[in-house]
A and B are shown apart, each in its own frame.
Chain A
Amino acid sequence: MREVLEGSQAVARTVARCRPGVICAYPISPQTHIVEALSVMARTGELTDCEYVNVESEFSAMSVSIGASAAGSRAYTATASQGLLYMAEAVFNASGMGLPIVMTVANRAIGAPINIWNDQSDALAMRDAGWLQLYAADNQEAADLHIIAFAVAEELGIPAMVCMDGFVLTHASDVVDLATAEQIDGFLPPFRAQQVLDVENPTTIGTMAGPESFTETKYLQHLRFLDAAEVIDRWSTAFRESFGRQTGGLVARYDPDSLDRNNLAPPGDATDVTVIAMGSVLGTLQAALVPLRAAGVSVRLLGISSFRPFPELALREALGECRDVIVIDRALELGAGGVLTGNVGRALAGTRSRIHSVVAGLGGRPILEASLRDVVARERAGQLGRLEFLDLKTGGVPVPPVGATEVAR
């Protein structure tokens, strides 16, 4: 049923219909509406056979999730920004122990300076944590991705973050068509764990591994992670067949004419320039690029739906022969450039691609359609630098003028 819902409400209702056994909550903006909504459902009986635990920190939120998952429950929590960093030690630990926890990250900037608004610095700082990272372009995808995340995480024994832009998605109301409990029951298998704390079959989880076995442990973890691309692709295809809409996957190939995500383009057509982005900015890009296409600019749009595993093969296939690439990056690797750009660069190594990185929308700065069109126009004119900051203000503040901001590596 199509209805207008806030992004957080859409996510909370979908998570509840995935039948989690334990939900942990600790407040941090902008994820609070999700756990607030779940707390109501836990009280009204909409969530059955589920323990809702208010904890004293994000570190404990992840730790309770670890214990719950290891004891055989589907465990869920949500966080953002400082909260994600505060739980970092346990985040790495969960993946090392193969516990398929699902966590919503309502993407938000990291201080100092403290800033509650949206960019993707938080989840991207956790890129080596051994978690799957799936990014939602809109509220519909944010809700749906949780169903896929539970399925993929539990098949692989790898925890999953579903990343949705804070405020831009969490607090925005949009039309969504939520999966019903019956639909999800028919799609998502019951919880299964790789290893469980069971008094009938006692096991020791979390041993110390010395130099003689640590490398092999990590190698096996790596191999399992490499399997993840195929598993994500398979579950996303199954989702499309069951629910009739495109959600998740590895790379979203926006149709070049309509720039519609649901109308998948074939991989590798011959466009002059490709814009690559991740998260809700894809919606802005859709709107920005349609007039350019109409004006005859050969530009297309690719969305990174899975940042971890990073879909190197799928990205190369999607790009085909296109060599001019603009990456709209929502997080900055200080002294180096955009975080997404670095991953795109590694995927395209040896292809002679010309990659431009545009760092945009840090700490909630609005990303304007006109600014994005200007970026494409300047790229076509050969005027776009290798690293630029979108709409950097240079008047009245002690910032070097545009031009001097391009960083040579």
Chain B
Amino acid sequence: MSTVHIPFLQTGTLAVGGRLLREDDRSVQSHADRPSSLTRGHRACQGCAEALAARWVMDTAVDAADGKLIVANATGCLEVFSTLYPESAWKPPWIHSVFANAAAVATGIASSLHAQGKDDVRVLAQGGDGGTVDIGLAAVSGMFERNDDVLYVCYDNQGYMNTGVQRSSATPASARTATTPAVGHQPGAPVGQGKSMPKIAMAHEIPYVATATVADLRDLESKVRTAMSIHGARYLHVLVPCPLGWGASSAESIALSRAAVQSGIFAVIEARAGELTEVQRIRELAPVEDYLRPQQRFAHLFKPGGEDALDRWRQLAQANIRRYDLLGGTP
């Protein structure tokens, strides 16, 4: 695949690509000839963590596949902001069909490639939480269950942001969305636990399941590389803060991702064949408020009457910490 040389604006830090590391250890992004699979000029919002995550995921996958990668995309923000005719921000061959079928379209591509003997070409499917945990769940589950040779990546921003921030089943309880307004005696989403697709994926006992955030892009890259080294159905779940939908500053997407991990709200894990194999420990335990307070969708938690909901968040973080041993020390 040809590469387009674009101004290389990110320099110097470990976080953006490891230019201080040995050449072999540096991230794909640290190289001037990085694939830039999702090119600049697309229409994502400022601070969109999905765009950031998608670029890292795609560049790593393209690199790992030696440039031979085909992508199937579900309907959603990522599709809309990247492919408004007659423009496309995607450099790999890329297809969007409908909302619920990215996993099945990817299966079709993988089947076709296998039938043609093109087993060196790899397939990646991607979608948001709506296209994955809600409307697309059956197709994703079918692809998992058949162990089709597809890496499926879910960029989870916990709601239907593209259509104007409505609740999805990945929306956590108490979050304000356009269909769960922060009014009445139980403001925000009255039900829900943020349907855990990683746990559902693990229940399918597929070869590889991992979670990641944009707060640790090297970790994200490493997980994509691990996933690409394996054949069969693989699932990667990336938490991607949405400045618009979460009501947070565009500058806070990374900080919110880090707070989600350090408070125990979002567990960063790896699993193989249904067994948990790696857990990223919390470096310094942060209060859940670090994650919740900067987000307008949780503003009502910090007003009179919000204590119960806030307490449920603390319980959720504690449960995650226990379940995944996020603080370490459990034998």
Name A residues whose Cβ lies closer than 8 Å to a Cβ of B. Answer: 21-22, 24, 49-51, 53-57, 59-60, 63-73, 75, 89-90, 93, 97, 197-199, 201-210, 213
Contacts and interface: CB of A to CB of B under 8 A. Distances in A.
B296 interface: no
Chain B CB within 10 A, most for which of A66, A93, A197, A209: A197
Given A66-B101, A67-B72, A202-B92, A73 B115 contact: yes
Interface of B: 1, 67-70, 72-73, 79-80, 83-88, 90-98, 100-101, 104-117, 121, 138-139, 141-142, 145-146
A209 B85 contact: yes
B217 to A, nearest CB: 24
Given A53-B111, A67-B111, A202-B92, 19 more contacts: A21-B115, A55-B104, A63-B98, A63-B104, A67-B72, A67-B104, A67-B106, A67-B110, A68-B112, A70-B95, A70-B105, A71-B113, A75-B112, A199-B70, A202-B90, A202-B93, A205-B96, A208-B79, A210-B84
B108 A207 contact: no
Chain B CB within 10 A, most for which of A51, A53, A207: A207
10 contacts: A22-B112, A56-B139, A67-B72, A67-B108, A67-B110, A71-B116, A75-B112, A197-B95, A206-B96, A207-B86
A132 B27 CA distance: 50
A207 B111 contact: no
A21 B83 contact: no
B108 A63 contact: yes
Given A21-B116, A206-B96, A208-B85, A75 B67 contact: no
Chain B CB within 10 A, most for which of A71, A203, A213: A71
B82 to A, nearest CB: 9
Contact of A56 (B114, B117, B138): B138
B84 A202 contact: no
Contacts of A73: 111-112, 115-116
Given A55-B104, A73-B112, A202 B1 contact: yes
A70 B138 CA distance: 22
Nearest to B65: A199
A22 B112 CA distance: 6
Nearest to A94: B97
A60 B142 contact: yes
B108 to A, nearest CB: 2
